[in-house]
Amino acid sequence: MPKLDFGPPDFHAMLPPVIKRNYGQWRYHEILKPGLLKHVAESGEALFTVRAGTPRLLNTDSVRRIADLADKYCDGYVRFTSRHNLEFLISDESRVEPLLAELKKFNIPVGGTGNSMSSIVHTQGWIHCHTPATDASGVVKAVMDELFQHYTHMDLPAKLKVAMACCLNMCGAVHCSDIAILGVHRTPPKVDHEALARGCEVPTVVASCPTAALRPNPRLKSVDVVEERCMYCGNCFTMCPAMKIMDGEHDGISIWVGGKVGNARTAPMFSKLAIPFLPNNPPRWPEVVDAVKNIVDVWAAHAIKGERVGEWINRVGWERFFELTGLPFTDKHVDDFIFSVPSFRSSTQFKW
Ligand code: SF4
Ligand code: SF4
């Protein structure tokens, strides 16, 4: 393959030699203990994987520390999973325990394998992004503090993937996670006509709206919002900072449940709305923490072994889910969005 100067590099170049030698020839794998995997190839070679958590937003000291550990124990081979776990890939078994000891010394938690909770994948929040309806790191820290036991122990009925995105653009895996925490705006953008005329292109702003809620206003060289068509997605704000969507009073958090990516047992599923709104309550977001913990506890108490959150809900029924979790079912749960029909066909197994 020719070497290009754009796009991701060919991943084969970054595989550890043991994986290259045994590519596609793995016989089995086992979980030796929480956070430690062993893959055995047909050739008899073994690969040990130590999975560790990260806070996702990393400072340079942490990145250097991770790189140093990878150099010391894994010949430089380390990777991030899609849920922002670290995976140290080790071909020499004698290096596993020293690495685990060093991770412990640096307070880097090891876990997230098998029937446990993975790291919470999350977005930028107030630290970096311009459209958030809530923070990301702060909410995740508060939730993870409460659920941390499930990261280091494989004590759940099945794997648990929690995701957080701070607006509907959903840079996190909110649409396909067992439990998803999603920041929501609830009011239409307020247009700063003067700033829009000065700094944004009207056709681009109008085209950015997925529900055709924006109309050109030639008199002001700006746009008007047809409020009843707006779904508060914030896409127009991404195009033009004059479309102010942030609203300190009405922005908050919604909770979604039952999504998954995997094809195992059942088809992939989209997450569905469980709680339409919880208030933004920094620095510890107690309402959100309680809500997520409640769903995890009820699922853990009622699911049969191997049943992901969505599979459990499909078995017992949504009515029972709302009953068991004590969550109210409201008009907000009825999906009457005009483009909802295509979203019903959501699996890789569908047939038109
Ligand atoms: Fe920004 Fe939205 Fe992504 Fe959060 S989810 S980082 S607010 S675009
Ligand atoms: Fe359109 Fe979304 Fe902007 Fe509302 S917030 S006007 S739906 S782009």
pLDDT exceeding 90 applies to what percent of the chain?
80
Using the Cα atoms of residue 281, residue 287, residue 288 and residue 290 in order, give the sign of their dihedral. positive
**Residue 346 — very low, low, confident or very high, per pLDDT cuts 50/70/90?**
low
- Do 162 and 287 have their domain in common? yes
CA 224 – ligand 2 centroid, Å: 11
Ligand 2 close to Cβ of residue 234 (< 6 A): yes
Q: What is the mean pLDDT of the chain?
A: 92
CA 154 – ligand 2 centroid, Å: 42
Backbone angles phi, psi at 51, to 5 degrees: -100, 130
For a pocket test of ligand 1, which of 139, 166, 185 has the largest count of ligand atoms closer than 8 A to its C-beta?
166
Tens digit of each residue's pLDDT (9 = 90 or more) over 299-325:
999 999 999 999 999 999 999 999 999
Query: Has residue 114 been placed in a domain?
Result: no
**Residue 351 — very low, low, confident or very high, per pLDDT cuts 50/70/90?**
very low
- Do 275 and 340 have their domain in common? yes
pLDDT for the residue numbered 62: 94
Enclosing domain of residue 228: 190-244
- Do 32 and 149 have their domain in common? no
Query: Has residue 152 been placed in a domain?
Result: yes
Query: Has residue 352 been placed in a domain?
Result: no
CA 130 – ligand 1 centroid, Å: 7
Nearest CA to ligand 2 atom 7: 230
For a pocket test of ligand 1, which of 123, 184, 233, 244 has the largest count of ligand atoms closer than 8 A to its C-beta?
123
Tens digit of each residue's pLDDT (9 = 90 or more) over 179-205:
999 999 999 999 999 999 999 999 999
Beta strands, E only, 66-209: 78-80, 86-90, 121-122, 162-165, 179-184, 190-191
Domain boundary among 206, 222, 244: 244
**Residue 8 — very low, low, confident or very high, per pLDDT cuts 50/70/90?**
confident
User: What does DSSP assign to residue 174?
Assistant: G
Residue 81: name the closest of 50, 47, 125, 41 by CA.
Answer: 50
Nearest CA to ligand 2 atom 8: 209
Residue 267: name the closest of 195, 339, 350 by CA.
Answer: 350
- Do 228 and 96 have their domain in common? no
Q: Report the nearest atom of ligand 1 relative to the CA of 165.
A: 5
- Do 91 and 143 have their domain in common? no
Domain boundary among 77, 105, 133: 105
On whether the pTM is more than 0.85, the answer is: yes
- Do 168 and 222 have their domain in common? no
pLDDT for the residue numbered 145: 96
The ligand with the least distance to the CA atom of 169 is: 1
Query: Has residue 24 been placed in a domain?
Result: yes
Contact 205, 213 (CB under 8 A): no
pLDDT for the residue numbered 104: 96
CATH number at residue 88: 3.30.70.3340
CA 189 – ligand 2 centroid, Å: 7
Q: How many domains would you assign to the chain? A: 3
For a pocket test of ligand 2, which of 131, 232, 250 has the largest count of ligand atoms closer than 8 A to its C-beta?
232
- Do 230 and 281 have their domain in common? no
Beta bridge partners of 191: 243
Q: Report the nearest atom of ligand 1 relative to the CA of 170.
A: 5
H or E segment to which residue 337 belongs: none
- Do 40 and 148 have their domain in common? no
- Do 209 and 177 have their domain in common? no
Q: Report the nearest atom of ligand 1 relative to the CA of 166.
A: 4
CATH number at residue 290: 3.30.413.10
Q: Where are the alpha helices (DSSP H) in 161-234?
A: 193-199, 202-207
Query: Has residue 46 been placed in a domain?
Result: yes
Pocket of ligand 1 (CB under 6 A): 123-124, 129, 131-132, 165-167, 169-171
CA 238 – ligand 1 centroid, Å: 10
Tens digit of each residue's pLDDT (9 = 90 or more) over 215-272:
999 999 999 999 999 989 899 998 999 999 999 999 999 999 999 998 889 999 999 9
- Do 170 and 55 have their domain in common? no
Residue 109: name the closest of 90, 85, 138, 81 by CA.
Answer: 85
**Residue 340 — very low, low, confident or very high, per pLDDT cuts 50/70/90?**
low
Query: Has residue 296 been placed in a domain?
Result: yes
- Do 140 and 208 have their domain in common? no
CA 205 – ligand 2 centroid, Å: 10
Tens digit of each residue's pLDDT (9 = 90 or more) over 121-170:
999 999 988 889 999 999 999 999 999 999 999 999 999 999 999 998 87
Nearest CA to ligand 1 atom 2: 167
CA 220 – ligand 1 centroid, Å: 30
Pairing of β 36-41 and β 243-244: unpaired
Nearest CA to ligand 1 atom 7: 132
Q: Round to whole Å and give the CA distance between 235 and 170.
A: 11
Beta bridge partners of 287: none
Ligand 2 close to Cβ of residue 167 (< 6 A): no
- Do 307 and 170 have their domain in common? yes
pLDDT for the residue numbered 99: 97
Nearest CA to ligand 2 atom 3: 236
Higher local confidence (pLDDT), 351 or 223:
223
Contact 36, 96 (CB under 8 A): yes
